[in-house]
């Protein structure tokens, strides 16, 4: 469990974090969204204890990061945005070293290194030097390093960057399984990727925390919430779509003729109506999809907006 009270951080005489307060429990996955990556990284740095806050308190399972820095650090796993690299150390040596610093010894250490390497599919490259790895693999090593000691709080900074799409999928299920026994905070600019993963979203605008809401609520704020996208070869009868009950508007895709997105009014469901219309008119539809809401739009909008 983590508790942040009135946290403020100055960097080079400029306020970059002002008066953040939030708390998170076990089994929660917090998404940290915002336009400015420096603020997100600075927040994670302060939580991890690698930099000290200018004012305010951070309690991790009751340990204040200022009063008990070492105890707090033991509970945290932090995947830094910057990938780790070393000219001579191999992946195994590196993980062993970090595990030893984390206080693991003997069989426990071997088991944990093995566990982390298996989870992130690093077994084939265990003996390769860190520097020879690709960006995606380095990213995985940095994540493996963070979960070695099964921390109570896992901080991830742009974890999916540099990963291939299929790996991203596997990574998401890994984080989901990890969320079962720890608190996870993920900072990312790809909010839509994290929509299924996170239970709560924190949106940062400038130096302020403008939103701390459950993920579904944030998605509900999107004007694409409950919107339906249809694609057909022949041009569709847009008027018929527009007069359906609950339709707020229609967006035509400029680059894909024949593809339209039908927006729903807040609180209305239009998917069944569109389905009936398609069945009645016998339209030949290539694809039909219901949108969960575009998070990136909401985040973009929120982070430009004046603070709540």
Partner 1 sequence: MKLLPVIFKRQLVHYAGTPGTYLSIAIFSVLSVALGLHMSAWPEQDSSHLQVFFQLHPWLYLLLIPVLAAQLWSDESNAGFLDLMKTLPITTFEWVIGKFLAAWVVAATALILTFPLVIIANYLGVADNSVIASQFISSWLLAGSYLAVGCFIFTLVRQRTALFILTVGFMLIVSALSYLLDALEHQAPTWAVDSLVSLSPFSRYSAIDNGKFTLRDMLYFISMILAFLAATTVTLNYRHS
Q: What is the Cα–Cα distance from 113 to 92, expressed in whole angstroms?
A: 8
Residue from 4, 16, 42, 76 in contact with partner 1 (CB under 8 A)? 76
Q: Does 86 bind partner 1 (CB under 8 A)?
A: yes
**C-beta of 293: minimal distance to partner 1 in Å?**
34
Instruction: Using the minimum distance from each CB to partner 1, give the nearer residue, 78 or 225.
Output: 78
Q: Does 82 bind partner 1 (CB under 8 A)?
A: yes
**C-beta of 24: minimal distance to partner 1 in Å?**
19
**C-beta of 187: minimal distance to partner 1 in Å?**
15
3-class SS shares of the chain: helix, strand, coil, % to 5: 35, 30, 35
Task: Locate 241 and state its tokens.
Answer: 């779509």
Q: What is the Cα–Cα distance from 178 to 31, expressed in whole angstroms?
A: 15
Q: Does 243 bind partner 1 (CB under 8 A)?
A: no
48-63 burial by CB neighbour count: b if 16+ within 10 A, else e?
A: bbeeebeebebbbeeb
Binding residue count for partner 1, defined by CB under 8 A = 27
With CA atoms as reference, report the closest residue to 192 among 218, 211, 153.
218
Q: Does 84 bind partner 1 (CB under 8 A)?
A: yes
Q: What is the Cα–Cα distance from 248 to 245, expressed in whole angstroms?
A: 9
Q: Does 88 bind partner 1 (CB under 8 A)?
A: yes
Interface mask (CB under 8 A) for partner 1, residues 30-49, using x and -?
A: ------------------xx
Interface mask (CB under 8 A) for partner 1, residues 134-153, using x and -?
A: --------x--x--------
Residue 16 near residue 184, CB atoms below 8 Å: no
Q: Does 70 bind partner 1 (CB under 8 A)?
A: yes
Interface mask (CB under 8 A) for partner 1, residues 171-200, using x and -?
A: ------------------------------
Instruction: Using the minimum distance from each CB to partner 1, give the nearer residue, 112 or 142.
Output: 142
Q: Does 103 bind partner 1 (CB under 8 A)?
A: yes
Distances (CA, A) of 75 to 2, 12, 60, 85, 236: 10, 29, 8, 24, 57
Q: Looking at residue 127, what DSSP letter applies?
A: T
State the CB neighbour count (10 A cutoff) for residue 86: 13
Helix (H, G, I), strand (E, B) or coil at 257: coil
Q: Which stretch binds partner 1 (CB under 8 A): 79-87, 171-179, 244-252, 261-269?
A: 79-87
State the CB neighbour count (10 A cutoff) for residue 156: 27
Residue from 8, 36, 64, 85 in contact with partner 1 (CB under 8 A)? 85
Q: Does 98 bind partner 1 (CB under 8 A)?
A: yes
CA angle 120, 215, 203 (to 5 degrees): 90
Q: Does 253 bind partner 1 (CB under 8 A)?
A: no
Q: Does 254 bind partner 1 (CB under 8 A)?
A: no
Helix (H, G, I), strand (E, B) or coil at 185: strand
Q: Does 169 bind partner 1 (CB under 8 A)?
A: no
**C-beta of 56: minimal distance to partner 1 in Å?**
15
Write out the residues near partner 1 by the rule CB under 8 A: 48-52, 70-71, 73-74, 76, 78, 80, 82-88, 97-98, 100-103, 142, 145
């Amino acid at each position: 469990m983590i508790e942040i009270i009135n946290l403020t951080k100055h960097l080079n005489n400029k306020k970059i974090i002002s008066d953040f307060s939030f708390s998170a429990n076990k089994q929660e996955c917090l998404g940290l969204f915002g336009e400015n990556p420096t603020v997100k990284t600075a927040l994670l740095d302060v939580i991890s204890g690698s930099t000290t806050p200018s004012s305010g308190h951070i309690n991790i399972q009751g340990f204040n990061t200022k009063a008990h820095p070492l105890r707090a650090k033991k509970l945290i796993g932090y995947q830094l945005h910057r990938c780790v690299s070393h000219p001579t150390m191999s992946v195994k040596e590196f993980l062993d070293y970090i595990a030893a610093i984390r206080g693991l010894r003997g069989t426990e250490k071997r088991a944990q290194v093995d566990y982390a390497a298996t989870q992130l599919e690093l077994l084939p490259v265990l003996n390769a030097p860190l520097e020879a790895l690709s960006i995606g693999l380095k990213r995985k090593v940095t994540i493996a390093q963070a979960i070695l000691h099964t921390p109570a709080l896992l901080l991830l900074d742009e974890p999916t960057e540099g990963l291939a799409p299929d790996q991203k999928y596997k990574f998401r299920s890994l984080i989901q399984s990890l969320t079962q026994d720890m608190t996870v905070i993920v900072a990312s600019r790809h909010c839509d990727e994290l929509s299924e993963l996170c239970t709560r979203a924190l949106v940062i605008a400038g130096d302020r925390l403008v939103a701390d809401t459950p993920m579904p609520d944030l998605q509900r704020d999107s004007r694409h919430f409950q919107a339906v996208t249809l694609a057909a070869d022949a041009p569709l009868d847009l008027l018929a779509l527009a007069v359906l009950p609950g339709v707020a508007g229609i967006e035509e895709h400029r680059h894909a003729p024949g593809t339209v997105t039908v927006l729903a009014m807040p609180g209305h469901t239009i998917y069944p109506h569109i389905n009936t219309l398609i069945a009645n008119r016998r339209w030949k539809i290539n694809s039909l999809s219901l949108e969960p809401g575009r998070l990136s739009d909401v985040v973009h909008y929120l982070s430009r907006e004046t603070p709540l």
